[in-house]
Amino acid sequence: MHAQEIHDLKNQISNSRKPAPNKKKEPIVSDLCRYSEAVQMLGSRTLLDRAVKAKWLKPCVQQVRLTIFRHTDVLLVCEKILAGNLPPL
């Protein structure tokens, strides 16, 4: 092979490898939130535990190390608290 042919083959190979486009992954929007996310939304762990004990909020999944709430239910509890109601002790 001549030097020109080798050069052309290298160019063909490099042109066939196109870099992957930079696509940003969109965040997953879910109706569920973990325990830690619910704590952040309500502001304290104690307040979340009091809301669960008062049956204002019910976990849709409760396992040994996994507690998941519905996002809309946590927002409803937030609205109650903002209206001036606190869950009983």
**Digit-coded pLDDT (tens) for 20-67:** 666 666 666 678 999 999 999 999 999 999 999 999 999 998 998 999
**Within-domain flag for 13:** no
35 domain-assigned: yes
Q: Is residue 5 part of a domain?
A: no
Residue 2 resides in a domain: no
Domain harbouring 64, CATH code = 1.10.1660.10
- pLDDT at position 30: 75
- For residue 6, pLDDT beyond 90: no
In a domain, 7, yes or no: no
Which strands make up the sheet holding 67-70, listed edge to edge? 32-34, 67-70, 61-62
7-18 average pLDDT score: 65
- Position 89 confidence tier, pLDDT thresholds 50, 70, 90: confident
**50 C-beta neighbours (distance < 10 Å), count:** 18
Domain that holds residue 37: 30-89
- Residue 24 domain-assigned? no
User: How does residue 15 score in pLDDT terms, banded at 50, 70 and 90?
Assistant: low
Q: Report the number of distinct structural domains present in the chain.
A: 1
If one counts every other C-beta atom within 10 angstroms of the C-beta of residue 68, the result is 17
Task: Indicate whether 16 belongs to any domain.
Answer: no
E strand segments, 1-89: 32-34, 61-62, 67-70
> Higher pLDDT residue, 87 or 26?
87
Q: Is 19 within a domain?
A: no
